[in-house]
């Protein structure tokens, strides 16, 4: 049996090592990370648990690190962290695209969430964000001229009950099984929510994607994303909590009233 020695700092270090080794900790990034202080470029890798960003453009398009409340009518609440979000502009016929790996693909019980804030969208143009997996994918999008947001995945499409907003949205993908997931879309201005359960070929989502496909030529047409989060299934945290208790008990000197108890081998040993 491995013996944990030292004080609380050693215990914390061990727990972090256990969590990191099991990818059992929330993974997060936002525009507030200092890496985006000089803009948003290919190779930037803020936060934890994700790979570097890959950005591409065609035509008159590019990246932004500014407040999301600049787009649309200029109202909120928006999706900013420390007053800014990650954005892309794309004039008519142009394209801005961004993607990055999720280092540990999602598995049943995990969820991914991110904020999305589109501005105005010219007719037939579109803006989207979503997740992809080998042979499968799921995106939430708004097409210019439509009324509501639409979920499109490998199994088809579903029109949401959430109408256009330039104040920001929260999208959440909960993986239920290796081939099914639940998607929830929440409009931030009034907390109106819509969800649907979908079946596709593969829910081991391992990449985040974001596109502004020709939304329009003015800053009111800019689109933004922010606050990317992966949370593992709750049982993982319970296991780490039990591990903490076991390690604390190992670190105590036994007394006459507290006999030493052999802990089982496993994640905590």
3-state secondary structure of 125: coil
Burial of 102 (0-12, 13-18, 19+ CB in 10 A): buried
Euclidean distance between the first and the last CA atom of the chain, given in angstroms as a whole number: 6
Q: Which residues contact 188 (CB under 8 A, 6 or more apart)?
A: 77, 78, 79, 115, 165, 167, 168, 169, 170
- pLDDT value at position 92? 97
Residue that has been written with the tokens 């993986």 in this structure: 175
Own/partner long-range contacts of 6-12 (Cβ < 8 Å, ≥24 apart): 6/251, 7/251, 11/244, 11/247, 11/248, 11/251
- pLDDT value at position 75? 86
Write down the pTM of the prediction.
0.81
Return the number of other C-beta atoms located less than 10 Å from residue 150's C-beta.
18
Question: What are the DSSP E strand ranges found in the chain?
Answer: 27-29, 54-58, 61-66, 85-90, 95-101, 111-118, 126-133, 136-143, 148-153, 156-163, 169-177, 180-187, 193-199, 207-213, 223-231
- pLDDT value at position 184? 99
- pLDDT value at position 23? 53
Superfamily assignment of 26-231 in CATH?
Answer: Exo-inulinase; domain 1 (2.60.120.560)
Contact 72, 120 (CB under 8 A): yes
Size of the chain, expressed as the number of residues it contains: 269
List average pLDDT for each run of 10 residues in the chain, which is 269 residues long. Answer: 44 44 76 99 98 99 98 95 99 98 98 99 98 98 99 98 98 99 98 99 98 98 99 68 49 44 43
- pLDDT value at position 241? 52
| CA–CA dist 104, 194 (Å, integer) | 27
- pLDDT value at position 254? 44
Which two structure tokens, joined as six digits, stand for 200? 């596709």
3-state secondary structure of 129: strand
Eight-state DSSP code of residue 72: T
Instruction: Locate the domains of the chain by residue range.
Output: 1-25+234-269, 26-231
Burial 185-200 (b: 16+ CB within 10 A, else e): bbbbeeeeebeeebeb
- pLDDT value at position 198? 99
- Using alpha carbons, select from 136, 165, 173 the residue that is nearest to residue 149: 165
């Amino acid at each position: 049996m491995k013996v944990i020695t030292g004080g609380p700092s050693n215990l914390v270090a061990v727990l972090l090592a256990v969590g990191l080794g099991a990818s059992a900790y929330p993974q997060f990034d936002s525009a507030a990370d200092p890496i985006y202080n000089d803009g948003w470029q290919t190779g930037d890798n803020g936060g934890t648990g994700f790979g570097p960003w890959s950005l591409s453009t065609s035509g008159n398009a590019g990246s932004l690190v500014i407040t999301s409340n600049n787009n649309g009518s200029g109202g909120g609440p928006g999706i900013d962290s420390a007053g800014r979000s990650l954005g892309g502009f794309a004039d008519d016929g142009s394209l801005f695209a961004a993607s990055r790996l999720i280092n540990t693909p999602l598995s049943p019980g995990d969820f991914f969430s991110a904020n999305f804030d589109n501005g105005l969208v010219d007719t037939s143009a579109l803006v989207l964000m979503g997740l992809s997996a080998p042979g499968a994918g799921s995106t939430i999008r708004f097409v210019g001229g439509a009324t509501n947001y639409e979920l499109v995945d490998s199994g088809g499409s579903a029109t949401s009950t959430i109408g256009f907003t330039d104040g920001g949205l929260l999208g959440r993908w909960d993986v239920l099984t290796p081939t099914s997931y639940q998607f929830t879309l929440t409009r931030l201005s009034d907390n109106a929510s819509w969800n649907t359960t979908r079946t596709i070929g593969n829910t081991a989502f391992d990449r985040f994607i974001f596109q502004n496909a020709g939304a329009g030529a003015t800053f009111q047409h800019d689109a933004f994303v922010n606050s990317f989060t992966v949370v593992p299934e709750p049982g993982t945290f319970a296991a780490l909590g039990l591990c903490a208790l076991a390690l604390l008990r190992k670190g105590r000197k036994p007394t006459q009233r507290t006999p030493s108890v052999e802990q089982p081998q496993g994640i905590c040993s």
